[in-house]
Amino acid sequence: MRMIVCTTINEARAQLAKRRLDAPEVAIGLVPTMGYLHEGHASLMRRAKEECGYTVLSVFVNPLQFGPNEDFDRYPRSAEQDIALAEACGIDLLFMPTVSEMYPVKPLTSVIIDSVTDRLCGASRPGHFDGVGIVVCKLFHIIEPHRAYFGMKDAQQIAVVKRMVDDLNMPVEIVPCDTVREDDGLAKSSRNVYLNEQERQQAVVLSKSLQAAEHWLREPGMTAERLAGMVRKTIEEAPLAVIDYVELLTYPDLSPVEAQALLPNYPDTLIIALAVKFGGTRLIDNRLFIPLGGVQYV
Amino acid sequence: MRMIVCTTINEARAQLAKRRLDAPEVAIGLVPTMGYLHEGHASLMRRAKEECGYTVLSVFVNPLQFGPNEDFDRYPRSAEQDIALAEACGIDLLFMPTVSEMYPVKPLTSVIIDSVTDRLCGASRPGHFDGVGIVVCKLFHIIEPHRAYFGMKDAQQIAVVKRMVDDLNMPVEIVPCDTVREDDGLAKSSRNVYLNEQERQQAVVLSKSLQAAEHWLREPGMTAERLAGMVRKTIEEAPLAVIDYVELLTYPDLSPVEAQALLPNYPDTLIIALAVKFGGTRLIDNRLFIPLGGVQYV
């Protein structure tokens, strides 16, 4: 069956309603994206395809999750390539609304998630997760998926969305998926296209420092403060890197870990998360440390 | 078919999932209430029953929509009578969760609706509509109704919920229903039970003043300021009445009307809304004025 492309909410709903009436037992999987699709998105689509009888991809660059001085206008877009990749991945319905379709008037409603948004990108990008909250809410209400697939590169986003879903009893399962990386370890991101050759080469320091952290964490006597310091120092060795944050927190609560806490055999799942600028490009990455016998992800 | 009573979210969802799978074309109607059901609720249930193949009544006294000095603890409850009335009205599923079922932990997520909550009960009861926002969101996600029925006595609540539904693209139609009144005109309310005999007699002034306002509004030269003043004066004639607010606003935007605006032939739908205390009991009522050729309600 050929992929259907819908640009309006009513069209998408009509397609889904028909599908639900014909096959009420079929699970609907949603992969929400901002487009400019890469191998990371493709892996989410393939996972959705494996687990759901009907798969929906949304492509929408959401202005509300960009700050006034961020890259909304220059965020890369590639509708034609996105359509081709979605179709190649076997997506059933591609939802690509315009900004005025999603926000015909300024919303008076805000969906605000506290506490898990206090740190990391929530602190560096004020208002970012309010924008994520409302757009994910809207997409879930338009598509009504049984499962929604998100990449762990945006680990805080998953923690925030999961908390919103739990608090509001949204009837959707959030499925976190592994980060997909370039051969040298750099996490795939639509923003990687901004990097010049030198920046691209040096950006490998992010995944390298996280990989090293995995070993350092197991060293006897290693503390939270020392580990974050070692990661920071590793990154600073790349001359073009400007650190926004490097933090070690619990996951998915994203509470701070006491500076002197001993990390080997720490009882909770931890995340080391970082945001680093190379020139005008802000990249994020993270690594999860799951205690033995612990529960994966959220 | 006998009515099913569910106290947990999982039970209610299992019932609804079964129903949806068996009869995906059947419309589900929800009547969300705080219980202590009266004839006003019964009229909502009957309307839902007329329009939907499967009807759900929720009974939940939501602590989050009560202020710290409000009547949450003493709010009247009557589970057995509620069950009997729901069954008599032909409700299919009665959802009666406990507070800990609805809020197993303190939610980090808030659903905040601006502007339409600035006045009337939004101003008198700080936080009230934040509580309404989250609980209605939760109930809509648990029940997933096609239509939800609300009484126009809570006209601001309807405006707020409708705006939330529109802003968040919630797949539910909000159906406003006429206020049901006692023989002497007093709007039915679970809180009427608090009134002593004298208060109950004097409370009739609320509906009387709104009825009079309907005539005054048509008087040549009548202004917004004068009309509100006349309603206030009428209410003050009842010795036990203590006015919280009397306001004339547009509906459903709830924007102020200029004091000197001429009301006969005013182009927008207007609402005169009031909240008045009799002893410890705060009662609300309102009347809508729809211009000729105008659109009813929201």
Residues B194-218 have pLDDT tens digits of 999 999 999 999 999 999 999 999 9
Buried b / exposed e over B219-235, threshold 16 CB at 10 Å, is eeebbbebbbebbbebb
Per-residue model confidence (pLDDT) at position B265:
84
Of B20, B109, B163, the CB nearest to A168: B109
Q: Do B168 and A137 touch (CB under 8 A)?
A: yes
- Dihedral (Cα; A252, A256, A257, A258), 10-degree rounding: -160
Does A298 score more than 50 pLDDT? no
Q: Supply the CATH number for residue B116's domain.
A: 3.40.50.620
- Per residue in A9-18, pLDDT (tens digit) is 999 999 999 9
Q: A207: helix, coil or strand?
A: helix
Core vs surface per residue A16-36: b (16+ CB within 10 A) or e: beebbeeeeeeebbbbbbbbb
> Does B142 fall in a domain?
yes
Give the per-residue pLDDT at A293.
63
A221: buried, middle or exposed (CB in 10 Å: 19+, 13-18, 0-12)?
exposed
- Judged against a pLDDT cut of 50, whether residue A78 lies above it is answered with yes
pLDDT in tens, B38-53: 999 999 999 999 999 9
Confidence at A100, pLDDT banded by 50, 70, 90: very high
Both B119 and B57 in one domain: the answer is: yes
Do B162 and B217 lie in a common domain? no
Last residue of a domain, which of B121, B154, B177?
Answer: B177
Share of chain B above pLDDT 70, in %: 98
Tens digits of residue pLDDT in A110-120? 999 999 999 99
Same domain, A239 and A281: yes
In angstroms, the separation between the Cα of residue A110 and the nearest Cα of chain B is 5
**Model confidence band, residue B298 (pLDDT cutoffs 50, 70, 90):** very low
Q: CA nearest B129 in A: which residue?
A: A109
Q: Which of B131, B155, B177 is at the close of a domain?
A: B177
Per-residue pLDDT of B161-185, as tens digits, reads 999 999 999 999 999 999 999 999 9
Q: Please enumerate in sequence order all residues whose Cβ is within 8 A of that of A124, keeping only pairs 6 or more positions apart, or say none.
A: A244, A245, A275
| B225 lies in the same domain as B116 | no
A141 annotated ligand-binding residue: no
Contacts of A144 in chain B (CB under 8 A): 171
Residues A131 and A194 in one domain: no
CB-CB neighbors (< 8 A) of B113 in chain A: 108-109
Q: How far is A72 from chain B (nearest CA, A)?
A: 22
Taking CB atoms and an 8 Å cutoff, what residues of chain B touch A170?
141
Q: What are B172's two structure tokens?
A: 């539910």
CB-CB: which of B25, B114, B133 is closest to A21? B25
C-beta atoms of B170 and A115 within 8 A: no
Q: Are residues B20 and B159 in the same domain?
A: yes
In DSSP terms, which residues pair with B147 in a beta bridge?
A: B29, B173
Residue B41 designated active-site: yes
B50: closest CA of chain A, how far (Å): 22
User: Does any domain span residue A200?
Assistant: yes
Average of per-residue pLDDT across B235-240: 98
Mean pLDDT of the region A11-28? 96
Q: What is the pLDDT of residues A142-172, one digit of tens each?
A: 999 999 999 999 999 999 999 999 999 999 9
What pLDDT was estimated at residue A294? Answer: 56
Contact B141/A171, CB-based, under 8 Å?
Answer: yes
0.85 surpassed by complex ipTM: yes
Q: What sign does the CA torsion over B141, B142, B147, B148 have?
A: negative
Share of chain B above pLDDT 90, in %: 96
Which of B132, B147, B177 is a domain's end point? B177
Contacts of A262-266 with CB under 8 Å at 24 or more apart are A262/A221, A262/A222, A262/A223, A263/A217, A263/A218, A263/A222, A263/A223, A263/A224, A263/A227, A263/A289, A264/A217, A264/A218, A264/A219, A264/A220, A264/A222, A265/A291, A266/A291
A-chain CB neighbours of B20 within 8 Å are 24
Is residue A165, in this structure, part of any structural domain at all? yes
pLDDT at B88 over 70: yes
Question: Is residue A43 situated within a structural domain?
Answer: yes
User: Do A41 and A130 lie in a common domain?
Assistant: yes
- pLDDT score of A122: 96
> Rg for chain A (alpha carbons), in Å?
20
Residues A158 and A83 in one domain: yes
- Kindly state whether residue A185 falls inside one of the protein's structural domains: no
What's the number of domains chain A is made of?
A: 2
Whether A296 shows a pLDDT value over 60: the answer reads no
Judge whether residue A276 has pLDDT over 80.
Answer: yes
To test the contact with chain B by mutation, choose from A10, A111, A144 the residue with the greatest count of B C-beta atoms within 10 A, namely: A111
Residue A225 maps to a domain: yes
Q: Which residue of chain B has the CA closest to A110?
A: B112
Which residues of A form the catalytic set? Answer: 41
Higher local confidence (pLDDT), B118 or B297: B118
Examine the domain organization and report whether A230 and A267 are in the same domain.
yes
- Give the nearest partner residue to B141 out of A24, A163, A169, using CB atoms: A169
Which residues of A are less than 8 Å from B114 in CB distance? 108-110
Q: Are A108 and B163 within 8 A, CB to CB?
A: yes
For residue range A169-192, list pLDDT tens digits in order.
999 999 999 999 999 999 999 999
Tokens of A76: 């890369």
CATH code for the domain in which residue B258 is found: 3.30.1300.10
Question: Average model confidence (pLDDT) for chain B?
Answer: 96
A141 and A218 part of one domain: no
Q: A162: annotated binding-site residue?
A: no
Residues in B whose CB is inside 8 Å of some CB of A read: 9, 13, 20-21, 24-25, 107-116, 133-134, 137-138, 141-142, 144, 163-164, 167-171
Residue B292 located in a structural domain? no
Q: Under 8 Å CB-to-CB from B7, ≥6 apart: which residues?
A: B95, B96, B97, B98, B101
Average pLDDT over residues A244-251: 97
**A292 located within any domain:** no
Quote the domain boundaries for residue A80. 4-177
- Whether residue B172 is found in the same domain as residue B194: no
Residues B47 and B163 placed together within one structural domain of the fold: yes
Q: What is the mean pLDDT of chain A?
A: 96
* Minimal CA separation from A163 to chain B, in Å: 7
